[in-house]
């Protein structure tokens, strides 16, 4: 009888241990993408440092962050199809995430899928809101795709738009299109 009670007590403890959760880790509310250039902090008269506006919020969703990390690792390893699959999965979770659309546009550009890169960059811009840096990066994708397509006039206009958006991001002003 003692063995039976001991067996059930051990089984109950194992069951309860299986239901316990790990201690909660602090979640990232926003992550700064690695390839966004940081503006230099201008120093005004009197030694006052003006900090640049924060970069775009990439995601607070752990699954999306993990998928983006996986995509970046796959892309760095030359596994572009796997990177694209990870980005597409992340987009199924957060379909309105401008940064994910930009990453996919950038990937399609490196794959030589220029028309799709332009379409994805435009879609990213539609979700970017006031995130001028993301918009500027998207216009650079569009410009590079147009260069590859032989559209030098379109590329020049896209580079001009990207430059205006970068300046607007630094000053906080709205660009005049």
Q: pLDDT, tens digit, for every residue of 65-108? A: 999 999 999 999 999 999 999 999 999 999 999 999 999 999 99
CA distance 103 to 120: 9
Number of residues that make up the chain: 177
Calculate the dihedral angle through the C-alpha atoms of 29, 62, 74, 107, rounding to the nearest 10 degrees.
-50
Q: pLDDT, tens digit, for every residue of 137-147? A: 999 999 999 99
Beta strand ranges found along 66-119 (DSSP E): none
pTM: 0.67
């Amino acid at each position: 009888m003692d063995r039976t009670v001991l067996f059930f007590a051990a089984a109950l403890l194992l069951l309860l241990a299986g239901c316990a959760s790990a201690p909660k880790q602090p979640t990232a509310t926003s992550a700064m993408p690695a390839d966004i250039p940081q503006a230099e902090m201008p120093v005004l008269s009197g030694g006052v440092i003006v900090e640049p506006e924060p970069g775009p919020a990439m995601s607070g969703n752990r699954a999306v962050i993990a998928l983006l990390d996986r995509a970046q690792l796959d892309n760095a390893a030359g596994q572009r199809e796997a990177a694209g699959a990870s980005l597409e999965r992340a987009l199924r979770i957060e379909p309105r995430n401008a940064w994910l659309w930009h990453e996919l546009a950038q990937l399609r550009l490196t794959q030589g899928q220029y028309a799709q890169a332009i379409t994805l960059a435009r879609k990213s811009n539609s979700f970017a809101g006031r995130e001028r840096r993301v918009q500027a990066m998207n216009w650079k994708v569009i410009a590079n795709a147009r260069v590859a397509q032989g559209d030098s006039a379109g590329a020049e206009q896209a580079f001009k738009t990207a430059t205006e958006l970068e300046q607007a991001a630094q000053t906080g002003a709205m660009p005049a299109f």
